Structure 1
Protein backbone atom coordinates (compact mmCIF):
# COMPACT_ATOMS: atom_id res chain seq x y z
CA UNK A 1 0.00 0.00 0.00
CA UNK A 2 1.46 3.38 -1.02
CA UNK A 3 2.11 5.83 1.79
CA UNK A 4 0.42 9.20 1.09
CA UNK A 5 2.73 12.11 0.53
CA UNK A 6 3.02 14.43 3.52
CA UNK A 7 0.90 17.52 2.62
CA UNK A 8 3.24 20.16 4.02
CA UNK A 9 1.79 23.10 2.01
CA UNK A 10 -1.66 22.11 3.22
CA UNK A 11 -0.43 21.82 6.80
CA UNK A 12 1.12 25.28 6.52
CA UNK A 13 -2.16 26.73 5.24
CA UNK A 14 -4.06 24.92 8.00
CA UNK A 15 -1.74 26.20 10.76
CA UNK A 16 -1.98 29.81 9.56
CA UNK A 17 -5.77 29.65 9.28
CA UNK A 18 -5.94 28.08 12.74
CA UNK A 19 -4.09 31.12 14.09
CA UNK A 20 -5.97 33.76 12.13
CA UNK A 21 -9.43 32.10 12.17
CA UNK A 22 -10.26 34.27 9.16
CA UNK A 23 -9.85 33.17 5.54
CA UNK A 24 -9.09 36.65 4.26
CA UNK A 25 -6.47 37.39 6.89
CA UNK A 26 -4.86 33.95 6.49
CA UNK A 27 -4.74 34.29 2.68
CA UNK A 28 -3.08 37.70 2.98
CA UNK A 29 -0.50 36.32 5.42
CA UNK A 30 0.26 33.43 3.07
CA UNK A 31 0.48 35.75 0.07
CA UNK A 32 -2.21 33.93 -1.90
CA UNK A 33 -5.82 34.59 -2.90
CA UNK A 34 -8.64 33.27 -0.74
CA UNK A 35 -9.93 30.60 -3.23
CA UNK A 36 -6.57 28.71 -3.38
CA UNK A 37 -6.47 28.77 0.43
CA UNK A 38 -9.95 27.31 0.61
CA UNK A 39 -8.89 24.58 -1.84
CA UNK A 40 -5.85 23.70 0.27
CA UNK A 41 -7.99 23.37 3.38
CA UNK A 42 -10.60 21.25 1.60
CA UNK A 43 -7.90 18.89 0.24
CA UNK A 44 -6.51 18.44 3.74
CA UNK A 45 -9.98 17.80 5.15
CA UNK A 46 -10.54 15.17 2.44
CA UNK A 47 -7.26 13.51 3.44
CA UNK A 48 -8.25 13.54 7.14
CA UNK A 49 -11.80 12.49 6.38
CA UNK A 50 -13.38 15.07 8.67
CA UNK A 51 -13.94 18.83 8.69
CA UNK A 52 -11.17 20.78 10.42
CA UNK A 53 -13.04 24.11 10.63
CA UNK A 54 -16.60 25.21 11.24
CA UNK A 55 -17.43 27.85 8.68
CA UNK A 56 -20.02 30.29 9.96
CA UNK A 57 -20.91 33.78 8.71
CA UNK A 58 -18.16 36.12 9.86
CA UNK A 59 -16.23 33.53 11.84
CA UNK A 60 -14.20 30.33 11.54
CA UNK A 61 -13.53 27.94 14.43
CA UNK A 62 -11.62 24.72 14.81
CA UNK A 63 -13.49 21.44 15.05
CA UNK A 64 -12.35 18.75 17.53
CA UNK A 65 -10.49 17.09 14.63
CA UNK A 66 -8.82 20.42 13.82
CA UNK A 67 -7.76 20.97 17.43
CA UNK A 68 -6.25 17.46 17.47
CA UNK A 69 -4.32 18.01 14.24
CA UNK A 70 -2.93 21.46 15.08
CA UNK A 71 -0.07 20.42 17.46
CA UNK A 72 1.11 17.73 15.03
CA UNK A 73 0.99 20.20 12.14
CA UNK A 74 3.07 22.71 14.08
CA UNK A 75 5.63 20.03 14.98
CA UNK A 76 5.90 18.90 11.36
CA UNK A 77 6.42 22.45 10.15
CA UNK A 78 8.98 23.16 12.90
CA UNK A 79 10.86 19.95 12.06
CA UNK A 80 10.90 20.91 8.39
CA UNK A 81 12.22 24.39 9.19
CA UNK A 82 14.93 22.93 11.43
CA UNK A 83 15.87 20.38 8.77
CA UNK A 84 16.11 23.02 6.07
CA UNK A 85 18.26 25.20 8.32
CA UNK A 86 20.57 22.29 9.16
CA UNK A 87 20.85 21.25 5.50
CA UNK A 88 21.64 24.83 4.51
CA UNK A 89 24.37 25.04 7.17
CA UNK A 90 25.95 21.79 5.99
CA UNK A 91 25.72 22.85 2.34
CA UNK A 92 27.46 26.12 3.18
CA UNK A 93 30.20 24.37 5.17
CA UNK A 94 29.04 25.79 8.52
CA UNK A 95 27.97 22.51 10.16
CA UNK A 96 28.44 18.76 9.98
CA UNK A 97 31.32 16.38 10.69
CA UNK A 98 34.83 16.55 9.22
CA UNK A 99 37.27 13.66 9.75
CA UNK A 100 40.93 14.61 9.54
CA UNK A 101 43.96 12.31 9.61
CA UNK A 102 47.30 13.84 10.54
CA UNK A 103 50.94 12.89 10.91
CA UNK A 104 51.89 13.03 14.60
CA UNK A 105 54.79 15.41 14.04
CA UNK A 106 52.39 18.05 12.67
CA UNK A 107 50.91 18.45 16.15
CA UNK A 108 54.23 20.16 16.93
CA UNK A 109 54.05 22.57 13.98
CA UNK A 110 51.11 23.58 11.79
CA UNK A 111 48.20 21.51 13.13
CA UNK A 112 47.21 23.54 16.25
CA UNK A 113 47.05 26.86 14.38
CA UNK A 114 45.20 25.29 11.47
CA UNK A 115 42.54 23.71 13.67
CA UNK A 116 42.13 26.93 15.65
CA UNK A 117 41.62 28.95 12.47
CA UNK A 118 39.14 26.43 11.09
CA UNK A 119 37.08 26.32 14.29
CA UNK A 120 37.04 30.12 14.48
CA UNK A 121 35.53 30.23 10.98
CA UNK A 122 33.16 27.29 11.42
CA UNK A 123 32.32 26.81 15.11
CA UNK A 124 29.35 24.61 14.25
CA UNK A 125 31.48 21.93 12.58
CA UNK A 126 32.39 18.84 14.63
CA UNK A 127 35.96 17.65 14.07
CA UNK A 128 37.12 14.05 14.33
CA UNK A 129 40.94 14.23 14.51
CA UNK A 130 42.87 10.98 14.01
CA UNK A 131 46.62 10.55 14.42
CA UNK A 132 47.82 8.36 11.54
CA UNK A 133 51.02 7.77 9.60
CA UNK A 134 51.07 8.26 5.84
CA UNK A 135 50.24 4.79 4.56
CA UNK A 136 47.18 4.33 6.81
CA UNK A 137 45.97 7.82 5.84
CA UNK A 138 46.03 6.88 2.15
CA UNK A 139 44.03 3.71 2.86
CA UNK A 140 41.56 5.65 5.02
CA UNK A 141 41.06 8.26 2.30
CA UNK A 142 40.36 5.62 -0.34
CA UNK A 143 37.97 3.79 2.03
CA UNK A 144 36.13 6.98 3.01
CA UNK A 145 37.13 6.60 6.68
CA UNK A 146 38.59 10.12 6.71
CA UNK A 147 37.81 13.17 4.58
CA UNK A 148 41.19 14.91 4.62
CA UNK A 149 44.74 13.82 5.39
CA UNK A 150 47.78 15.85 6.46
CA UNK A 151 50.74 13.66 5.67
CA UNK A 152 54.44 13.59 4.86
CA UNK A 153 56.04 12.72 1.55
CA UNK A 154 52.88 11.82 -0.40
CA UNK A 155 53.21 9.44 -3.34
CA UNK A 156 53.96 10.94 -6.72
CA UNK A 157 50.80 9.43 -8.18
CA UNK A 158 47.83 8.10 -6.24
CA UNK A 159 44.73 7.61 -8.46
CA UNK A 160 41.60 9.15 -7.00
CA UNK A 161 43.42 11.43 -4.55
CA UNK A 162 44.52 15.05 -4.85
CA UNK A 163 47.48 16.60 -3.01
CA UNK A 164 48.62 20.11 -2.22
CA UNK A 165 51.91 20.99 -0.53
CA UNK A 166 51.44 22.95 2.71
CA UNK A 167 54.94 22.86 4.20
CA UNK A 168 58.54 22.12 3.21
CA UNK A 169 60.35 21.36 6.46
CA UNK A 170 64.11 20.96 6.93
CA UNK A 171 65.68 17.89 8.52
CA UNK A 172 67.65 17.71 11.75
CA UNK A 173 69.98 15.10 13.17
CA UNK A 174 68.64 13.47 16.34
CA UNK A 175 71.54 12.55 18.63
CA UNK A 176 72.08 11.25 22.14
CA UNK A 177 73.05 14.25 24.27
CA UNK A 178 76.50 12.72 24.92
CA UNK A 179 77.24 12.08 21.22
CA UNK A 180 80.47 13.70 19.96
CA UNK A 181 78.63 15.35 17.04
CA UNK A 182 76.64 17.52 19.46
CA UNK A 183 79.74 19.73 19.59
CA UNK A 184 79.05 20.70 15.96
CA UNK A 185 76.64 23.49 15.02
CA UNK A 186 75.61 21.51 11.93
CA UNK A 187 76.06 17.83 11.22
CA UNK A 188 77.01 16.55 7.76
CA UNK A 189 74.89 13.47 7.05
CA UNK A 190 78.07 11.62 6.03
CA UNK A 191 79.27 11.91 9.66
CA UNK A 192 76.43 9.60 10.72
CA UNK A 193 77.83 6.70 8.68
CA UNK A 194 78.57 3.74 10.91
CA UNK A 195 76.14 4.83 13.66
CA UNK A 196 73.10 2.65 14.32
CA UNK A 197 69.81 4.32 13.28
CA UNK A 198 66.36 4.49 14.83
CA UNK A 199 63.85 4.89 11.97
CA UNK A 200 60.15 4.72 11.21
CA UNK A 201 59.21 1.44 9.49
CA UNK A 202 58.90 1.84 5.74
CA UNK A 203 55.46 0.22 5.78
CA UNK A 204 53.85 3.11 7.69
CA UNK A 205 55.59 5.96 5.87
CA UNK A 206 57.34 4.77 2.72
CA UNK A 207 57.88 8.27 1.31
CA UNK A 208 59.56 9.66 4.42
CA UNK A 209 61.54 6.47 5.03
CA UNK A 210 62.87 6.58 1.46
CA UNK A 211 63.63 10.30 1.77
CA UNK A 212 65.79 9.69 4.86
CA UNK A 213 67.59 6.66 3.44
CA UNK A 214 68.04 8.62 0.21
CA UNK A 215 69.84 11.41 2.10
CA UNK A 216 72.13 8.78 3.59
CA UNK A 217 72.74 7.21 0.18
CA UNK A 218 73.66 10.62 -1.24
CA UNK A 219 76.17 10.92 1.60
CA UNK A 220 77.74 7.60 0.63
CA UNK A 221 76.22 5.05 2.99
CA UNK A 222 73.05 3.14 3.85
CA UNK A 223 71.86 3.42 7.45
CA UNK A 224 72.15 0.40 9.71
CA UNK A 225 68.75 0.26 11.40
CA UNK A 226 69.04 -0.89 14.99
CA UNK A 227 65.45 -0.16 15.97
CA UNK A 228 62.14 0.81 14.36
CA UNK A 229 59.59 3.09 16.03
CA UNK A 230 56.27 4.37 14.67
CA UNK A 231 56.04 7.61 16.68
CA UNK A 232 58.61 10.41 16.74
CA UNK A 233 58.39 10.65 20.51
CA UNK A 234 59.44 7.00 20.68
CA UNK A 235 62.25 7.63 18.17
CA UNK A 236 63.58 10.41 20.38
CA UNK A 237 63.23 8.29 23.50
CA UNK A 238 65.19 5.42 21.95
CA UNK A 239 67.87 7.80 20.68
CA UNK A 240 68.11 9.31 24.17
CA UNK A 241 68.56 5.79 25.57
CA UNK A 242 71.63 5.39 23.35
CA UNK A 243 70.16 2.94 20.84
CA UNK A 244 71.20 5.03 17.84
CA UNK A 245 70.79 8.28 15.92
CA UNK A 246 68.15 9.48 13.50
CA UNK A 247 67.17 12.07 10.91
CA UNK A 248 63.83 13.77 11.48
CA UNK A 249 61.69 16.76 10.47
CA UNK A 250 62.85 19.91 12.27
CA UNK A 251 59.56 20.26 14.17
CA UNK A 252 60.65 17.29 16.29
CA UNK A 253 62.93 19.70 18.17
CA UNK A 254 59.87 20.69 20.21
CA UNK A 255 60.02 17.31 21.92
CA UNK A 256 61.99 18.22 25.04
CA UNK A 257 64.21 15.43 26.37
CA UNK A 258 67.40 16.09 28.35
CA UNK A 259 68.94 12.98 26.83
CA UNK A 260 68.46 14.13 23.21
CA UNK A 261 70.14 16.83 21.14
CA UNK A 262 69.04 18.17 17.73
CA UNK A 263 71.35 19.70 15.13
CA UNK A 264 70.70 21.08 11.62
CA UNK A 265 72.17 18.87 8.91
CA UNK A 266 74.28 19.41 5.82
CA UNK A 267 73.14 19.63 3.07
CA UNK A 268 71.03 22.44 4.49
CA UNK A 269 68.57 22.46 1.59
CA UNK A 270 67.25 18.95 2.35
CA UNK A 271 63.51 19.19 2.96
CA UNK A 272 60.58 16.93 3.78
CA UNK A 273 57.27 17.73 2.11
CA UNK A 274 54.01 17.96 4.04
CA UNK A 275 50.83 17.83 1.96
CA UNK A 276 47.08 17.93 2.44
CA UNK A 277 45.30 15.07 0.67
CA UNK A 278 41.65 14.54 -0.22
CA UNK A 279 39.51 12.55 -2.62
CA UNK A 280 39.59 14.47 -5.88
CA UNK A 281 35.90 13.81 -6.58
CA UNK A 282 34.75 14.83 -3.10
CA UNK A 283 32.07 17.54 -3.17
CA UNK A 284 31.96 17.91 0.63
CA UNK A 285 31.79 21.67 1.33
CA UNK A 286 33.63 21.11 4.63
CA UNK A 287 36.64 19.77 2.72
CA UNK A 288 36.58 22.88 0.53
CA UNK A 289 36.38 25.09 3.64
CA UNK A 290 39.35 23.31 5.23
CA UNK A 291 41.41 23.67 2.05
CA UNK A 292 40.63 27.39 2.02
CA UNK A 293 41.69 27.64 5.66
CA UNK A 294 44.94 25.79 4.95
CA UNK A 295 45.69 28.13 2.05
CA UNK A 296 45.24 31.10 4.36
CA UNK A 297 47.42 29.64 7.12
CA UNK A 298 50.39 28.43 5.07
Structure 2
Protein backbone atom coordinates (compact mmCIF):
# COMPACT_ATOMS: atom_id res chain seq x y z
CA UNK A 1 0.00 0.00 0.00
CA UNK A 2 1.42 3.46 -0.86
CA UNK A 3 2.60 5.46 2.14
CA UNK A 4 -0.05 8.18 1.65
CA UNK A 5 -2.80 5.52 1.68
CA UNK A 6 -1.29 3.98 4.79
CA UNK A 7 -1.31 7.36 6.55
CA UNK A 8 -4.90 7.93 5.50
CA UNK A 9 -5.93 4.56 6.85
CA UNK A 10 -4.18 5.25 10.13
CA UNK A 11 -5.93 8.61 10.54
CA UNK A 12 -9.29 7.06 9.67
CA UNK A 13 -8.83 4.41 12.39
CA UNK A 14 -7.85 7.08 14.87
CA UNK A 15 -4.49 5.41 15.47
CA UNK A 16 -2.27 8.21 14.22
CA UNK A 17 -2.04 11.30 16.44
CA UNK A 18 -0.30 14.63 16.26
CA UNK A 19 1.48 13.80 19.51
CA UNK A 20 3.06 10.76 17.85
CA UNK A 21 4.14 12.91 14.92
CA UNK A 22 5.63 15.61 17.15
CA UNK A 23 7.54 13.03 19.18
CA UNK A 24 8.90 11.42 16.02
CA UNK A 25 9.92 14.78 14.52
CA UNK A 26 11.72 15.79 17.71
CA UNK A 27 13.62 12.50 17.88
CA UNK A 28 14.55 12.72 14.19
CA UNK A 29 15.81 16.30 14.52
CA UNK A 30 17.77 15.76 17.74
CA UNK A 31 18.98 12.30 16.76
CA UNK A 32 18.27 10.59 20.08
CA UNK A 33 15.25 9.53 22.13
CA UNK A 34 16.70 11.13 25.25
CA UNK A 35 17.34 14.41 23.43
CA UNK A 36 13.73 14.51 22.21
CA UNK A 37 12.56 13.78 25.75
CA UNK A 38 14.58 16.73 27.07
CA UNK A 39 13.23 19.03 24.34
CA UNK A 40 9.57 18.07 24.84
CA UNK A 41 9.74 17.40 28.60
CA UNK A 42 8.45 13.86 28.30
CA UNK A 43 10.08 10.71 29.58
CA UNK A 44 12.29 8.79 27.12
CA UNK A 45 9.96 5.79 27.45
CA UNK A 46 6.98 7.97 26.41
CA UNK A 47 8.85 9.23 23.31
CA UNK A 48 9.89 5.71 22.38
CA UNK A 49 6.35 4.40 22.85
CA UNK A 50 4.92 7.20 20.66
CA UNK A 51 7.30 6.33 17.83
CA UNK A 52 6.42 2.65 18.15
CA UNK A 53 2.70 3.51 18.00
CA UNK A 54 3.29 5.67 14.93
CA UNK A 55 5.17 2.85 13.19
CA UNK A 56 2.36 0.45 14.05
CA UNK A 57 -0.28 2.87 12.72
CA UNK A 58 1.61 3.34 9.44
CA UNK A 59 2.71 -0.26 9.15
CA UNK A 60 6.32 0.73 8.40
CA UNK A 61 9.66 1.03 10.18
CA UNK A 62 10.60 4.70 10.52
CA UNK A 63 13.93 4.46 12.32
CA UNK A 64 16.58 2.12 13.61
CA UNK A 65 17.21 2.62 17.33
CA UNK A 66 20.59 1.92 18.85
CA UNK A 67 21.05 2.48 22.56
CA UNK A 68 24.49 4.06 22.35
CA UNK A 69 24.19 5.66 18.91
CA UNK A 70 20.75 7.26 18.87
CA UNK A 71 18.36 6.74 15.95
CA UNK A 72 18.87 6.48 12.20
CA UNK A 73 15.94 7.19 9.89
CA UNK A 74 14.98 4.67 7.24
CA UNK A 75 14.18 5.92 3.73
CA UNK A 76 10.47 5.78 4.63
CA UNK A 77 11.24 7.58 7.88
CA UNK A 78 12.82 10.46 5.95
CA UNK A 79 9.69 10.73 3.80
CA UNK A 80 7.40 10.64 6.84
CA UNK A 81 9.57 13.27 8.57
CA UNK A 82 9.04 15.75 5.74
CA UNK A 83 5.28 15.10 5.66
CA UNK A 84 4.98 15.14 9.46
CA UNK A 85 6.71 18.52 9.76
CA UNK A 86 4.38 19.91 7.12
CA UNK A 87 1.30 18.55 8.92
CA UNK A 88 2.40 19.95 12.28
CA UNK A 89 3.15 23.31 10.68
CA UNK A 90 -0.29 23.38 9.06
CA UNK A 91 -1.96 22.63 12.38
CA UNK A 92 -0.01 25.41 14.08
CA UNK A 93 -0.92 27.83 11.29
CA UNK A 94 -4.59 26.88 11.67
CA UNK A 95 -4.41 27.81 15.33
CA UNK A 96 -2.79 31.17 14.60
CA UNK A 97 -5.33 31.90 11.83
CA UNK A 98 -8.24 31.29 14.23
CA UNK A 99 -6.68 33.57 16.85
CA UNK A 100 -6.33 36.27 14.23
CA UNK A 101 -9.98 35.82 13.23
CA UNK A 102 -8.89 35.65 9.59
CA UNK A 103 -8.27 39.41 9.45
CA UNK A 104 -5.05 39.95 11.40
CA UNK A 105 -1.73 38.15 11.43
CA UNK A 106 -0.94 36.48 14.75
CA UNK A 107 1.91 34.24 15.88
CA UNK A 108 5.69 33.94 15.84
CA UNK A 109 8.15 34.76 13.07
CA UNK A 110 11.90 34.19 13.38
CA UNK A 111 14.17 35.91 10.85
CA UNK A 112 17.81 34.95 10.37
CA UNK A 113 20.34 37.46 9.11
CA UNK A 114 23.99 37.27 8.08
CA UNK A 115 26.14 39.05 10.63
CA UNK A 116 27.30 41.99 8.48
CA UNK A 117 23.88 42.60 6.97
CA UNK A 118 22.06 42.71 10.30
CA UNK A 119 22.88 46.30 11.38
CA UNK A 120 21.96 47.63 7.94
CA UNK A 121 18.76 45.66 7.28
CA UNK A 122 17.16 44.44 10.50
CA UNK A 123 16.35 47.63 12.48
CA UNK A 124 14.20 49.21 9.77
CA UNK A 125 12.66 45.88 8.78
CA UNK A 126 11.65 45.10 12.36
CA UNK A 127 10.12 48.56 12.80
CA UNK A 128 8.13 48.38 9.56
CA UNK A 129 6.88 44.88 10.27
CA UNK A 130 5.85 45.55 13.85
CA UNK A 131 3.96 48.69 12.80
CA UNK A 132 2.01 46.75 10.18
CA UNK A 133 1.49 43.54 12.17
CA UNK A 134 1.59 44.31 15.90
CA UNK A 135 0.22 40.90 16.96
CA UNK A 136 3.06 38.98 15.32
CA UNK A 137 5.95 38.20 17.66
CA UNK A 138 8.93 38.79 15.38
CA UNK A 139 12.37 37.74 16.55
CA UNK A 140 15.74 37.37 14.85
CA UNK A 141 18.90 35.28 14.83
CA UNK A 142 22.21 36.72 13.61
CA UNK A 143 24.92 34.34 12.45
CA UNK A 144 27.29 33.06 9.79
CA UNK A 145 25.99 31.69 6.51
CA UNK A 146 26.38 27.99 7.34
CA UNK A 147 24.62 28.52 10.68
CA UNK A 148 21.68 30.19 8.96
CA UNK A 149 21.39 27.44 6.35
CA UNK A 150 21.31 24.79 9.08
CA UNK A 151 18.71 26.79 10.99
CA UNK A 152 16.52 27.05 7.88
CA UNK A 153 16.62 23.30 7.27
CA UNK A 154 15.99 22.47 10.93
CA UNK A 155 13.06 24.89 11.19
CA UNK A 156 14.75 27.01 13.88
CA UNK A 157 14.21 30.10 11.70
CA UNK A 158 11.52 30.81 9.10
CA UNK A 159 13.49 32.92 6.60
CA UNK A 160 16.98 34.38 6.31
CA UNK A 161 18.63 37.44 4.82
CA UNK A 162 22.04 36.56 3.43
CA UNK A 163 24.42 36.62 0.48
CA UNK A 164 23.85 34.17 -2.37
CA UNK A 165 27.07 32.70 -3.72
CA UNK A 166 25.34 29.61 -5.08
CA UNK A 167 25.86 25.97 -4.18
CA UNK A 168 22.71 25.74 -2.07
CA UNK A 169 20.60 22.60 -2.00
CA UNK A 170 16.84 22.75 -1.38
CA UNK A 171 16.74 26.49 -0.70
CA UNK A 172 14.26 28.94 -2.23
CA UNK A 173 15.12 32.63 -2.46
CA UNK A 174 14.49 35.90 -4.23
CA UNK A 175 17.05 38.65 -4.77
CA UNK A 176 16.77 42.01 -2.99
CA UNK A 177 19.82 43.87 -4.29
CA UNK A 178 23.39 43.31 -5.47
CA UNK A 179 26.66 44.20 -3.76
CA UNK A 180 30.28 44.08 -4.88
CA UNK A 181 33.60 43.77 -3.04
CA UNK A 182 35.86 46.77 -2.43
CA UNK A 183 39.18 47.53 -0.72
CA UNK A 184 39.31 49.33 2.63
CA UNK A 185 42.28 51.36 3.92
CA UNK A 186 43.30 53.64 6.75
CA UNK A 187 43.75 57.27 5.72
CA UNK A 188 47.59 57.03 5.82
CA UNK A 189 47.92 53.98 3.58
CA UNK A 190 49.86 54.87 0.39
CA UNK A 191 47.12 53.35 -1.80
CA UNK A 192 44.54 55.51 0.01
CA UNK A 193 46.54 58.71 -0.30
CA UNK A 194 47.28 58.51 -4.01
CA UNK A 195 44.95 60.00 -6.61
CA UNK A 196 42.20 57.88 -8.10
CA UNK A 197 39.35 55.79 -6.74
CA UNK A 198 40.60 52.36 -7.80
CA UNK A 199 43.23 49.76 -6.94
CA UNK A 200 44.23 46.53 -8.62
CA UNK A 201 44.49 43.08 -7.07
CA UNK A 202 48.13 43.01 -8.16
CA UNK A 203 48.76 46.10 -6.01
CA UNK A 204 46.86 44.62 -3.06
CA UNK A 205 48.34 41.11 -2.98
CA UNK A 206 51.76 42.02 -1.44
CA UNK A 207 50.20 44.26 1.22
CA UNK A 208 49.18 42.87 4.65
CA UNK A 209 45.55 41.72 4.45
CA UNK A 210 43.21 41.79 7.44
CA UNK A 211 40.96 38.90 6.44
CA UNK A 212 37.35 39.02 7.60
CA UNK A 213 36.83 35.31 8.14
CA UNK A 214 33.10 34.60 7.93
CA UNK A 215 31.47 32.28 5.42
CA UNK A 216 30.89 33.28 2.61
CA UNK A 217 33.01 36.46 2.90
CA UNK A 218 36.28 34.55 3.12
CA UNK A 219 35.58 32.48 0.02
CA UNK A 220 34.46 35.55 -1.92
CA UNK A 221 37.60 37.57 -1.08
CA UNK A 222 40.07 34.76 -1.69
CA UNK A 223 38.46 33.74 -4.98
CA UNK A 224 39.17 37.21 -6.40
CA UNK A 225 42.91 36.71 -5.98
CA UNK A 226 42.82 33.08 -7.11
CA UNK A 227 41.11 34.11 -10.34
CA UNK A 228 44.13 36.34 -11.10
CA UNK A 229 46.69 33.72 -10.06
CA UNK A 230 47.59 35.72 -6.94
CA UNK A 231 48.08 34.78 -3.29
CA UNK A 232 47.32 37.55 -0.79
CA UNK A 233 49.56 38.14 2.23
CA UNK A 234 47.18 37.49 5.16
CA UNK A 235 48.49 39.36 8.22
CA UNK A 236 45.50 39.07 10.59
CA UNK A 237 42.30 37.02 10.58
CA UNK A 238 39.19 38.28 12.40
CA UNK A 239 35.63 37.06 12.85
CA UNK A 240 34.20 40.52 13.55
CA UNK A 241 33.35 43.05 10.84
CA UNK A 242 33.94 46.17 12.94
CA UNK A 243 37.19 44.80 14.37
CA UNK A 244 38.40 44.34 10.80
CA UNK A 245 37.59 47.98 10.01
CA UNK A 246 39.20 49.21 13.23
CA UNK A 247 42.50 47.38 12.62
CA UNK A 248 42.66 48.76 9.08
CA UNK A 249 41.83 52.30 10.24
CA UNK A 250 44.83 52.33 12.60
CA UNK A 251 47.27 50.93 10.06
CA UNK A 252 49.31 52.66 7.37
CA UNK A 253 49.99 49.38 5.57
CA UNK A 254 47.09 46.92 6.12
CA UNK A 255 43.90 46.70 4.10
CA UNK A 256 40.70 44.61 3.97
CA UNK A 257 38.40 43.34 1.23
CA UNK A 258 34.77 43.72 2.26
CA UNK A 259 31.32 43.72 0.67
CA UNK A 260 29.05 45.49 3.17
CA UNK A 261 29.41 49.29 2.95
CA UNK A 262 28.28 51.10 6.13
CA UNK A 263 27.28 54.76 5.61
CA UNK A 264 29.58 55.65 8.51
CA UNK A 265 33.08 56.00 7.06
CA UNK A 266 34.82 55.80 10.43
CA UNK A 267 35.89 52.98 12.71
CA UNK A 268 34.52 52.41 16.22
CA UNK A 269 37.37 54.63 17.46
CA UNK A 270 36.33 57.44 15.12
CA UNK A 271 39.28 57.01 12.76
CA UNK A 272 38.63 57.54 9.04
CA UNK A 273 38.51 54.62 6.61
CA UNK A 274 38.89 54.97 2.86
CA UNK A 275 37.02 52.81 0.33
CA UNK A 276 38.39 52.14 -3.16
CA UNK A 277 36.94 50.12 -6.00
CA UNK A 278 38.85 47.07 -7.19
CA UNK A 279 39.72 46.59 -10.85
CA UNK A 280 38.91 44.45 -12.63
CA UNK A 281 35.56 44.62 -10.80
CA UNK A 282 34.87 41.59 -8.57
CA UNK A 283 31.71 39.56 -9.29
CA UNK A 284 28.47 41.04 -7.99
CA UNK A 285 26.78 39.03 -5.23
CA UNK A 286 23.05 39.09 -4.50
CA UNK A 287 21.53 39.71 -1.08
CA UNK A 288 18.48 37.44 -0.87
CA UNK A 289 15.58 36.41 1.30
CA UNK A 290 15.88 32.62 1.61
CA UNK A 291 13.75 29.81 3.04
CA UNK A 292 13.85 26.02 3.07
CA UNK A 293 12.77 24.45 -0.21
CA UNK A 294 10.34 21.98 1.35
CA UNK A 295 8.60 24.68 3.41
CA UNK A 296 5.57 26.69 2.36
CA UNK A 297 5.88 30.24 3.65
CA UNK A 298 3.43 31.16 6.41
CA UNK A 299 1.23 34.22 6.02
CA UNK A 300 3.54 35.99 8.48
CA UNK A 301 6.62 35.20 6.39
CA UNK A 302 4.85 36.24 3.19
CA UNK A 303 4.04 39.58 4.81
CA UNK A 304 7.76 40.05 5.48
CA UNK A 305 8.52 39.22 1.86
CA UNK A 306 5.96 41.85 0.77
CA UNK A 307 7.77 44.52 2.80
CA UNK A 308 11.10 43.55 1.27
CA UNK A 309 9.61 43.57 -2.23
CA UNK A 310 8.41 47.11 -1.52
CA UNK A 311 11.77 48.26 -0.11
CA UNK A 312 13.81 46.56 -2.86
CA UNK A 313 11.62 46.37 -5.98
CA UNK A 314 12.92 44.10 -8.71
CA UNK A 315 15.16 45.93 -11.15
Report the TM range for the smaller structure's normalisation: 0.5 to 0.7
Distance 1:231 1:87, change over 3 A: farther
Distance 1:174 1:92, change over 3 A: farther
Range that drifts further, 95-104 or 257-266: 257-266
User: CA RMSD for the aligned pairs?
Assistant: 2.6
Is the contact between residue 186 and residue 255 of structure 2 (CA under 8 Å) also seen in structure 1? yes
Structure 2 unaligned residues grouped into runs of 5+:
1-93
TM-score (norm 1): 0.63
Structure 1 partner of 2:283: 270
What are the superposed Cα offsets for residues 250-275 of structure 1, whole Å, 9 maximum, x if unpaired? 42453522153222222346323211
Aligned residues: 212
Structure 2 partner of 1:212: 221
Distance 1:96 1:186, change over 3 A: same
CA shift at 1:139, angstroms? Answer: 1.2
Structure 2 partner of 1:50: none
User: Paired residue for 1:168, among 146, 170, 178?
Assistant: 178
Counterpart secondary structure, 1:190: helix
CA shift at 1:195, angstroms? Answer: 1.2
How far apart, CA to CA, are the structure 1 residues paired with 2:146 and 2:96?
Answer: 38
* Structure 1 ranges of 4+ moved more than 6 A: 83-86, 90-93
Is the contact between residue 114 and residue 297 of structure 1 (CA under 8 Å) also seen in structure 2? no
How far apart, CA to CA, are the structure 2 residues paired with 1:97 and 1:90?
Answer: 16
How far apart, CA to CA, are the structure 2 residues paired with 1:263 and 1:185?
Answer: 5
How far apart, CA to CA, are the structure 2 residues paired with 1:255 and 1:140?
Answer: 33
Matched, 1:285 2:299: yes
Distance 1:191 1:121, change over 3 A: same
How far apart, CA to CA, are the structure 1 residues paired with 2:167 and 2:133?
Answer: 32
Counterpart secondary structure, 1:277: strand
Counterpart secondary structure, 1:123: coil
In our comparison, the structure showing a higher alpha carbon Rg is 1
Larger relative CO (CA 8 A, sep 6+): 1 or 2? Answer: 1
Which runs of structure 2 are paired with 1:83-94 in the superposition (5 Å)? 87-89=98-100, 94=105
Is the contact between residue 165 and residue 285 of structure 2 (CA under 8 Å) also seen in structure 1? no
Structure 2 partner of 1:188: 200
Matched, 1:231 2:236: no
Is the contact between residue 97 and residue 127 of structure 1 (CA under 8 Å) also seen in structure 2? yes
How far apart, CA to CA, are the structure 2 residues paired with 1:293 and 1:106?
Answer: 17
Matched, 1:130 2:138: no
Structure 2 partner of 1:200: 212
Distance 1:168 1:92, change over 3 A: farther
Is the contact between residue 134 and residue 154 of structure 1 (CA under 8 Å) also seen in structure 2? no
Distance 1:295 1:93, change over 3 A: farther
